[in-house]
Structure formats: structure tokens, C-alpha cells
Structure 1
Amino acid sequence: MSALICGSIAFDTIMVFHDQFKNHILPEQVHILNVSFLVSDLRREFGGCAGNIAYNLGLLGGEGKPMGTVGSDFAPYAEWMDRVGISQDHVRFIDGSYTAQAYITTDQDDNQITAFHPGAMNSAHEVKVSECTDCTIGIVSPDGRQGMIEHAEQFAETGTPFIFDPGQGMPMFDGDNLLKFVDQATWLAFNDYEAKLMQERTGLSPEQMAQRAEAVIITRGGEGSSIYTRDKVYEIPVASALSLEDPTGCGDAYRSGLLYGLMNDMDWDTTGRVAALMGAIKIEHAGTQNHKFSRDVFDVRFKQTFGYAL
């Protein structure tokens, strides 16, 4: 069984400013803002929701095929995907474009200033769900707006079960758009803030959405997560992390656990715990695709964390 992972494929350029932004930004002068921050630490990471989810799913032993669009600068990322065994069957090059990229500067208070260039991601709708003939489950994660709309429609038309995970793409859609996604998707996944925004825009509570989809999954950071189904709410405890290095990409790691559980017919209690442990392992490492483990190690840690074997 393969999962088709529709979403962004991007470079993340992460810079650290060893001071506080507030010491260099005058609130009364923001209308003529002209500042420069000297960043002594810089790293370039392979990221994007589709790439991150596929990477994490592969660590668990599942097969995820990212589907997205990239630009002329993609070669280093392509080499990385080959090295770690991520399929490029549904990655399309867009001439004259750069691969999507985020430029993130973080200060000592963990405040962030981010500039995001979508580049080739805006052409995500040019790749079609029908191109993956052996994918039996899917996910629509943040991507180009038209791509998210068309990929959800294509999953629904072919009867392929899929997770709708709007993430940071939520602001692109109004209430009517989001209601349509609710009716198309098999499962819905949000963080706590996104769930509140979803309710505000659609008028539907998580319980009400769970009557229209098979399940609604809401992550709550250090408070664990909740999985709403039509007749029950599963409260998933947080998995303790050995250290707290970098939360970037934890949501994608969690979603890989959801896909793995669904692909292997696990119950919701176990699926949620696999997802929670994936998030905990990710937060222990800087970057979104720098962590790794053997499946035996994961199974041992799962039993130690939750008290039963997978």
C-alpha cells in the first residue's frame, strides 16, 4: 500500500539572530522600517509538508510518494531524496521557477520573521492524483491553492480515502471552500489554533465535523491530541521528548504516524500514539528531516512510552 502525499516541497533557510528583535525595532518608527540583522548561524534544510511527511513515513517502514512541483534549483533536494529512498515519481519540474523556499530568522526570544516564496508550488495543480495508479490512501497538505482544491476533488472522484490537512494554507480558503473540503475528505487534521479557525469559518465544531467525516484529529502541542469520531473522542497522551530542540516539522511527523496507522488498519488509540511518538522524536532534532531511527528502536520506545507493544 502506498500513500500519495500532496503538498509543498521546499527549502527552509533558517537563520539565528543572537539578540532580540525588540532591541532593534522602534515601534513608533515601523512605518519607515529599515533594519538589518547580523545572523551568525545559518542552515539550509530540506522541507515542505510533502517531503517531510514522506520522509517520516519511510522511517516507519511505510511508502509515501510526494506529489508536488519544484524548480530549477531542486538538484540538491533530489539527491537527498534518492539517498533516503523517497520517490520522485510524482515530482514535476516547472521551467523558469524556483523551488518554494522559506527564509526564517529567529531571535533569542524565539520570535520569528519569515519570508516565503512559493515559486513552483503555485503550479501544483499541474500534477494529477490519477497519475499514481498504486496509491490507495492520500493526504492533501499545504500547497498551492488551486492544487489543494483540485487534488481534493480528484481524491473524492476516484473514491480514494484521504486526510485534509490545511495547515498554514488555511487563510487561502473561505467558509464555503472549507465546508466542501469537509464533505470531500475522509479524515480532517488540524492543530488547536487551526481547529478554532475552522470552526469560526464553517460554523462546525469538531464533533459536528466528525459527523460528516470519519474522524477529526486535533493536535494540542504539549497537551497531547484528540481524535473525534462519530461516536467517541479518543484522548491521546503526549509522548515525552528526550530534549526540546526544534518544533518545526512536528506536525508533519505526526501526520506520517496517522497515515501509517490508517495504512495498517490500527485502531485510533494506537494510531494516535504512533503519531504522538513521531512528533516527540522530531522535536528532539533541529530541522525537519535530520532525525532517523530503526524500526526496532521505535518499537522499543513505543512500549516504554505507552506500556504495550505495537
Structure 2
Amino acid sequence: TFVRTIDDALTAQAYITTDLDDNQITAFHPGAMDYSHENSVPADAGVTIGMVSPDGRQGMIDHADQFADAGIPFIFDPGQGLPMFEGAELKRFIDQATWVAVNDYEGQMLQERTGWSAKEISQHVEALIVTRGGEGSVIFANGEEIVISPVEPAEILDPTGCGDAYRAGLMFGISRQMSWEDTGRLASLIGSIKIAHRGTQNHALSPETVGAAFEAAYGYAINL
């Protein structure tokens, strides 16, 4: 197992208050997350893809180094951890990563801190993925801007966790070597499924239901 128990620290905790307009206030205690650097990325365990997401500062740095040293492709997904890093550090993350994923606010901050435009960032990786909430997402890849339209959800109950749901679709599509159009659309669809459920992980997915929903949303089928 890659799970480590820190006996004298609490599990990381986030308390998110959401109003009727989906504005959010988050209270966060990192707890055991601050010890993430004590876990190492295994170079010999068959890991084929990774993600560096918000974590302890040193853990994010170390894990990016370890993925790069092991030749394991990974997504740099700085999220709420982005403000911890200066421009030079963020440039190093980008150069180590295979893909970068941010929301529109994080993407703007990433550009400001690095001095690189979205197009310039995309030239350092295989793709830059920028999510835009209800406006869909944009994937900068191969010199193109691929616009991914949002999927109309059955209902809007809870936006918490939609970004993570999108990233699940992103990693699935990448691992299956899907086109960027199909990958982005699948990610958008899974985000729309999540938002119709309260809680971050209370939605259920299966190849059959996701496949049917994808065909209904986009008018063609994909192999899941």
C-alpha cells in the first residue's frame, strides 16, 4: 500500500460552505498532508501515469521530481496549492510535467507568476487543460485550442468535487489514448454527472451508463 499513517496528526480536513449561487468559503486543516513528502513515488511498482495535485509543499516538489526521474508521465494540477510557489518553481513543475490542468482562475495566476501565456505554457507540455465551470473547458494541444462545450446536467445540486470528477475523466482518456476532443468531452460529462449529486463522491458510474450519456450528449459513441 502507498498509504502512510501519521500517528500524531489528524487526517486533512476541508469544510466547504456553499450558498445558493454556488459561491464557496472553505476552511482547511492540512494535518497529515504536511507529511506527504515522507511518501515516495515508486519507480518499480508498475505506475504508468501520475498526478501532482495540492499537497504539502515539499511533497509536491519531491513527487514531481520523482515522477520525472522515473520517466512516469504526470499531470501537474496545482489547484489551491499554486500560491505556495514562485514563478521559477512553477516553471520547473511545468517543464517536468507531461500535462498541466488548471481552472480559469488558477490559469490566470499561473500565467502571471511564470510570465508565460497559455500558449507558451502549452509549448512546454503535451497539453494545457483549462476548465471554465459552466462554460466548459479549453485544451491547448498541438498548437490548437480545442473548445469543449459543457454538458447540461440533470440538475445542479452541489458543485463541490466537479473539478476532481473532470480530472477523473481526463486521466481515463489519457490512459486510454483517446483524442483530446473525446477526452475533454468525457471529462466534461463526468463533471456534469457529479454536480447532480450532493457530496463529492456520492455519484455512481459504469461504462454502460457513461457510454449512453456520452452518446446522448454528443451524438456519437466511444469505446469505454
Q: For 1:223 and 1:108, how far apart are their aligned partners in 2?
A: 19
Alpha-carbon deviation of 1:230? 3.1
Q: For 2:103 and 2:122, how far apart are their aligned partners in 1?
A: 15
Aligned 8 A contact 1:207 1:230 in 2: no
**1:157-196 map, 5 Å:** 157-196=69-108
Alpha-carbon deviation of 1:294? 2.4
Q: For 2:135 and 2:24, how far apart are their aligned partners in 1?
A: 23
Residue of structure 1 in register with 2:183 after alignment:
271
Query: Higher Cα Rg: structure 1 or 2?
Result: 1
Residue by residue, what CA displacement relative to the aligned partner does 1:29-69 show, whole Å, maximum 9, x if unpaired? xxxxxxxxxxxxxxxxxxxxxxxxxxxxxxxxxxxxxxxxx
Aligned 8 A contact 1:153 1:184 in 2: yes
Quick check: 1:152 aligned with 2:76? no
Residue of structure 2 in register with 1:130 after alignment:
42
My pick for the range that moved more, 143-152 or 290-299, is: 290-299
Q: For 1:222 and 1:147, how far apart are their aligned partners in 2?
A: 32
Alpha-carbon deviation of 1:235? 0.8
Structure with greater strand share of residues: 1
**1:16-27 map, 5 Å:** none
Q: For 2:78 and 2:174, how far apart are their aligned partners in 1?
A: 19
Distance 1:299 1:108, change over 3 A: closer
Residue of structure 1 in register with 2:130 after alignment:
218
Q: For 2:129 and 2:4, how far apart are their aligned partners in 1?
A: 30
Q: For 2:22 and 2:177, how far apart are their aligned partners in 1?
A: 39
Quick check: 1:207 aligned with 2:124? no
Residue of structure 1 in register with 2:196 after alignment:
284
Match of 1:198 among 75, 85, 110: 110
Alpha-carbon deviation of 1:103? 2.5
What is the aligned residue count?
222
Distance 1:206 1:109, change over 3 A: closer
Q: Give the AA of the match of 1:241.
A: P
Q: Calculate the aligned-residue CA RMSD, in Å.
A: 1.4
Structure with higher RCO (Cα < 8 A, 6+ apart): 1
Quick check: 1:260 aligned with 2:172? yes
- Structure 2, unmatched stretches of 5+, are none
Residue of structure 2 in register with 1:143 after alignment:
55
Residue by residue, what CA displacement relative to the aligned partner does 1:201-259 show, whole Å, maximum 9, x if unpaired? 00111110111111100001111111001321111111110100011110000011110
Distance 1:225 1:90, change over 3 A: same
Quick check: 1:96 aligned with 2:96? no
Distance 1:103 1:185, change over 3 A: same
Q: For 1:253 and 1:296, how far apart are their aligned partners in 2?
A: 17
Aligned 8 A contact 1:90 1:132 in 2: no
Q: For 1:109 and 1:225, how far apart are their aligned partners in 2?
A: 20
Q: For 1:225 and 1:106, how far apart are their aligned partners in 2?
A: 22
Q: Please state whether the residue corresponding to 2:10 is helix, strand or coil.
A: coil
Quick check: 1:300 aligned with 2:212? yes
Alpha-carbon deviation of 1:297? 1.0
Q: Please state whether the residue corresponding to 1:228 is helix, strand or coil.
A: strand
Residue by residue, what CA displacement relative to the aligned partner does 1:126-156 show, whole Å, maximum 9, x if unpaired? 1111166111011111111110110000000
Q: For 1:126 and 1:297, how far apart are their aligned partners in 2?
A: 39
- Structure 1, unmatched stretches of 5+, are 1-88
Aligned 8 A contact 2:22 2:159 in 1: no
Distance 1:275 1:113, change over 3 A: closer
Residue by residue, what CA displacement relative to the aligned partner does 1:164-200 show, whole Å, maximum 9, x if unpaired? 0000111111111101101000000000010000000
TM-score relative to the length of structure 2:
0.95
Q: Give the AA of the match of 2:150.
A: V
Q: For 1:132 and 1:141, how far apart are their aligned partners in 2?
A: 22
